Amino acid sequence: MRDKWLAMFFLVILMSVPSSCRDHRNQDDEASCQPTESFPAGAATSGSGAVIVTDISGSMKGFALPGSTQLFTLHDALERAVRNALADVEPAPVIQRCYIGTQLDCASRYPIQAMDNPATYSSAESRLYLFFTPGQQEEAGMSKVPEDPIGPYRLAILLTDGMQAHVPGKTPQGPCLAGADPACLTYLLRQRVEKGYGVWMALFYLPFRGIHFAERPLDAHHWQQIRQHIAQLDQDPYFQGVSFKVARSQPAMPFTSYHFEGVKPLLLLVLSRDLRVGRKFIEQFASQQIAHPRQALFTIELAPLSVRPRQIAKISLVPSASPIGVRPVVGSRKENFYDYLVECDREGAATFRLEWREGEGIQMLPEGVQVNFGFEPVGKKLPEGTVVFVDRKSNYEVQLSCRMIRPGKYNAWFKFQAILAMDVNAHPFWKALHFENSYEAPERLFGLRDLVQGSLEIALQRPRITDCLRLRIERK
């Protein structure tokens, strides 16, 4: 009984300790608030050399114009951009060439002059997903899965004239077995982003004269839509000075293709785990004047994207705000965060100015994506209204009120982060040159907007903490 009364006595003593002696700090919050955006950005390396995979389906044939060397010039520019991009890490890179149709063929040895030969483009379809995923091969009655098609290479490049429309009625499992449509390619690109790949895209135009495949049966109403669309292109700012013509190549109704003359887009997808190499390649390729019209070459980084980091440089009282019962003690820059200690009384209130500086790093944000910075609490939060951040563009106001907190010591952590989002008011090239179907607008790329937006989602969602603030409050 005596021991029981002693335990109760000490419990009462403990509970009677003044609240000013209680420590409300949470040491675990520091581990939760660490910058995720490199400062400065680093680069990973993987593989060696490059692989250039060319679509050889029949829809590409119209780019091989009689007497023209435009495709030779294109492929020569691709190889030159590869060598320039790899020059710092591989002075004599090996460039593997492959061709994609119903199969991924890396055994054939075409000279690049053959790219201007219409006979090169004879495949019935283009299974673009084979660029990303191992195909199935039968060997002695067993199914063998080859190695990752692009895994061994530092740089992997796919050249195609676009994505296929979804084919109704196909039932195989998986998102890509109904054809290499925008949903399929988006899914495969997202997989690569999750594995640490950087992804870049170039869209550019070249003269075209040949058959455009509609990928669906067309009737008289469809043909009227096509002709009306082509007639309006002379008012399109993207195609000033370009002449377009269409003609029926099949007299019977319905028909699945027609003759088209003008310019058409080619799509270049570039993947690399080495961000510096990938970015340098797309820059080198864009600098070569191969597009027609000359300005009709557009590039975009789909992943990982990067922002120029911001770090907290200084926090100070705003004298004009007439602080009441608040006393700054110390502020200093630590390795990965800024530390600020203040004392305050029961009715303490003050406004501080938080100044930031831009750090070293690459700002790589595509057209149509906007960035905003903000502070977000980490771990156990203070009562609402205790700390409020107001963005003043060149700095922040930090409004502190101690009315809602009890006496004691508090460690409040805040992450300073970049928030990326689609700019709904922007009209970037990948929206303007997108079309909803594969038959009506041969000068645009079916599914382009869906591919870009779907691929960007992962990069936009990735946290980008560029700095942290530890605000220590000693409430008297």
Question: Percentage of the chain surpassing pLDDT 70?
Answer: 86
Mean pLDDT of 376-393: 93
Is it the case that residue 394 has pLDDT exceeding 60?
yes
What gap in Å lies between CA 261 and CA 246, rounded to an integer? Answer: 6
Is 329 or 133 the better-scoring residue by pLDDT?
329
The string of pLDDT tens digits covering residues 16-39 is 444 444 555 555 566 678 888 754
**What 3-state class would DSSP assign to 230?**
helix
The string of pLDDT tens digits covering residues 430-462 is 999 999 999 999 999 999 999 999 999 999 998
Contacts (Cβ under 8 Å, ≥6 apart) of 119: none
Burial of 386: CB neighbours in 10 Å, binned 0-12, 13-18, 19+? buried
Pick the range with the lowest mean pLDDT from 53-67, 168-182, 188-202, 389-403.
168-182
Burial of 404: CB neighbours in 10 Å, binned 0-12, 13-18, 19+? exposed
CATH class belonging to 21-41+308-423+463-475: mainly beta
pLDDT for residue 29: 65
Pairing of strands 464-475, 338-358: parallel
CB 364 within 8 A of CB 278: no
The string of pLDDT tens digits covering residues 343-371 is 999 999 999 999 999 988 889 999 999 99
What Cα–Cα distance (Å) separates residue 468 from each residue in 46, 116, 339?
Answer: 31, 56, 9
Is it the case that residue 137 has pLDDT exceeding 50?
no
The string of pLDDT tens digits covering residues 268-287 is 999 999 999 999 999 999 99
pLDDT band at 154, cuts 50/70/90? very high
The string of pLDDT tens digits covering residues 57-109 is 999 999 999 999 999 999 999 999 999 999 999 999 999 999 999 999 999 99
pTM attached to this predicted model: 0.87
Is it the case that residue 377 has pLDDT exceeding 70?
yes
**What 3-state class would DSSP assign to 375?**
strand
Mean pLDDT of 49-59: 97
Is it the case that residue 423 has pLDDT exceeding 90?
yes
The structure tokens listed for 356 are 């930031």
pLDDT band at 44, cuts 50/70/90? low
pLDDT for residue 145: 45
The string of pLDDT tens digits covering residues 305-350 is 999 999 999 999 998 878 899 999 999 999 899 999 999 999 999 9
Mean pLDDT of 238-260: 91
Share the mean pLDDT of the chain.
Answer: 88
pLDDT band at 253, cuts 50/70/90? confident
Domain with CATH 2.60.40 in the chain: 21-41+308-423+463-475
Helix, strand, coil fractions of the chain, as percent rounded to 5: 25, 35, 40
Mean pLDDT of 369-381: 93
CB 58 within 8 A of CB 102: no
447: left (phi over 0), alpha (psi -120 to 50) or beta: left
pLDDT band at 166, cuts 50/70/90? low
